[in-house]
Structure 1
Amino acid sequence: MPSVTNDVHRTPDDCSTLRVSSADGVAHVVLDNPPVNVLGVVMMRELRTVLTALADDPSVRVIVFSSADPEFFLAHVDMRIAEDMEALGELAASAPGDVNVFQAVGELLRHQPQVTIVKLAGKARGGGAEFVAAADMAFAAAETAGLGQIEALMGIVPGGGGTQYLRERVGRNRALEVILTGDLFDAATAASYGWINRALPAAELDAYVDRIARNIAALPEGVVAAAKRALPADDLTEGLLRENDAWAATLARPAAQHLIVGGLRDGAQTLTGERDLETLMRGVAR
């Protein structure tokens, strides 16, 4: 067993969108950015700060990500993110040179030395779905979880690693299906595609993930590191560069700006609008 003291006060004082605690070798990171848990500049900065700190903590062997909101794990990237170009520019300047600011989050997660597990009770679209696919493992509630790359309905393509992570997980044919339909996929379908590890009854999700996390954390010294060394994250550098070029080209088109502005006008990033964002965005496009 790792020598870890129970610590429920790990969250840095300046974290406003994350709650972090640890016990028995398992760190729990709760995403908490109401009303719908969008992935904005502040959360991206805080995720990078927390993941970097945890990477240097040998007492932590597993990181479990969950949401404070049972409906939304991560809704998607904040559609208003361009309104704070100064903060976005600062974050981009601190990212590695071969990825964009959104890809940097997923790549940090993919290369984390700990085992990373997503516990998905609600919806994850766009950048939220990319986050799920970047983690080592993901387990979802069969009745309530959903995954989707909704970007096409906003006139763009995924730009935070989604094209590459999906192809690696589900294959090119299903990656194209996910990206070009913009649909929300239920947990059972996502599991059958290999997008997540498995779908479980919602009542069993917490206990199942807790058991896996604790069992992995309790493995003999060196086993987790050896397994991750034997199964390293693939080098996606060239693919991520292609993705960024494709994303930037579509984002620059007037159609994308029309759809994003129209989506916000019609209720995107509100509780009501996000519950059926696909229908909302298709309405904007008509």
Structure 2
Amino acid sequence: MTYEQLRVTRTSPALWRVAFDAPPLNLIGPRMVIELRELLDELESDPLVSVVIFESAIEDYFLAHWDITADPELVSSLPAGPTGYHPWLDILIRLSKVPAITISAIRGRARGAGSEFVLATDIRFASRENAVLGQFEVGTGAVPGGGTPSRLPRLIGRGRALEILVSAGDYDGELAERYGYVNRTLPDAELGEFVTAFAERVSTFDLRAVQEVKAFVNAASLAPDEEFPPQMDAFWASASRPESQARAGQLFARGLQQASETELNLGDALGQLDVPEQPPRVR
């Protein structure tokens, strides 16, 4: 397969680098889903790869979020992956369990599905000045569908997970580190060198030992797969509500999914929307 939105570099048999390259924002759409599935097929079948670095070739964006304008049928109609779940869930579950150690080197924005992706990787290092993470779905009236309500509390605790999810705000690198959303932050100029040195070090260690350690940690810390499909169902149901569509329409009018101030400062933009009439409370 020829990758169009991923730059895959095999630095050595044990160390791979994958750069997201879908300008201008690194939106996650059908093409990226197809390519990530193919990449996972390669990673799962390669007997030598030990470490994979995920990074971005696009300034200001690691993975912006899901491409809201894409026809959802283009993804949901794809052949079922090994898990049998929705293709995006399939990618995230497989990513968390692939034998290699996966590292997100976060420079730029990783919101929504972009945040879901980095949470499914094993280790997250971020630029202190230029990383922004968040789950903005609730601000549009939707429920995060890619597993964050399961992954985030296990990572940072219930209270902070709820803060991030219901605030729909932007969390910069420094605060993300303090909360445990990322492992650590580094000055932007030092991030690449640090991540490379860390990955190269791990890649020289015994492959079987690395894989066995990850398997034990997974057994102790990963959410059961069956927790995820109800969240995806809730996302599609909530995103299709008229009030959610109205909020999304306001965001698109302000420049959502364009190289714009709205995308750069999405947390602020959500707080400036006209609030539609609230539906009756469910009792």
Do both share a fold (TM > 0.5)? yes
Alignment of 1:277 with 2:266, yes or no, is: yes
Aligned residues: 271
- The CA distance in 2 between the partners of 1:65 and 1:106, in whole Å, is 14
2:76 pairs with one of 74, 83, 89: 89
Give the drift of 1:69. Answer: 1.0
- 1:268 alignment counterpart: 256
Match for 1:201: what amino acid?
P
- Return the match for 2:178 from 192, 206, 224: 192
Residue among 51, 55, 66 paired with 1:66: 55
Alignment of 1:222 with 2:211, yes or no, is: no
Q: 1:284 to 1:115 in 2, by over 3 A?
A: same
Q: CA RMSD, aligned part only?
A: 1.6
Distance 2:87 2:59 in 1: 27
Distance in 2 separating the partners of 1:97 and 1:109: 12
Shift of 1:44: 1.1
Contact 1:143 1:201 in 2 (8 A): yes
In the other structure, the counterpart of 2:29 is: 40
Tell me which residue corresponds to 1:258: 246
Q: Compared with structure 1, are the counterparts of its residues 125 and 221 closer, same or farther at alpha carbon in structure 2 (3 Å cutoff)?
A: closer
Match of 2:226 in 1: 238
Aligned pairs (5 A) from 1:142-161:
142-161=128-147
Q: Equivalent residue of 2:8, what SS?
A: strand
TM-superposition CA deviations, 1:165-189 (whole Å, max 9, x none): 1111111111110010001001121
- Please state whether the residue corresponding to 1:94 is helix, strand or coil: coil
Distance in 2 separating the partners of 1:101 and 1:16: 19
Q: 1:98 to 1:170 in 2, by over 3 A?
A: farther
8 Å contact 2:66–2:114 — kept in the other structure? Answer: yes
- Residue 262 of structure 1, CA deviation: 2.3
- The range that moved more, 257-266 or 112-121, is 257-266
Alpha-carbon shift at residue 98 of structure 1 (Å): 5.6
SS in 2 for 1:34: coil
Distance verdict in 2 for CA 1:285–1:131, change over 3 Å? farther
Gaps of at least 5 residues in structure 2 are: 276-283
Verify: 1:170 aligned to 2:156, yes or no: yes
Q: Could you tell me the percent identity over the aligned residues?
A: 34
- TM-superposed CA distance for 1:285, in Å, is 3.5
- Asked whether the 8 Å contact 1:268–1:280 carries over to 2, the reply is no
Q: Which amino acid aligns with 1:104?
A: D
Contact 1:20 1:28 in 2 (8 A): yes
Task: Indicate the larger mover: 241-250 or 65-74.
Answer: 241-250
Contact 1:48 1:108 in 2 (8 A): no
Matching residue's letter, 2:194:
Y
| SS in structure 2 at match of 1:225 | helix
Amino acid paired to 1:232: N
Contact 1:36–1:74 (8 Å) recurs in 2: yes
Gaps of 5+ in 1: 1-11
Displacement of 1:242 in angstroms is 3.3
| Structure-1 residue corresponding to 2:94 | 108
CA contact (8 A) 1:31 1:66 kept: yes
**Code of the aligned partner of 1:205:** L
Note the C-alpha offset of 1:251. 1.8
TM-score (norm 1): 0.89
Q: 2:147, 2:228 within 8 Å by CA — same for their partners in 1?
A: yes
TM-score, with length taken from structure 2: 0.90
Q: Give SS of 2:125's match.
A: strand
Quote the offset at 1:86 in angstroms. Answer: 4.0
Q: Distance in 1 between matches of 2:86 and 2:208?
A: 33
Secondary structure of the structure 1 residue equivalent to 2:92: helix
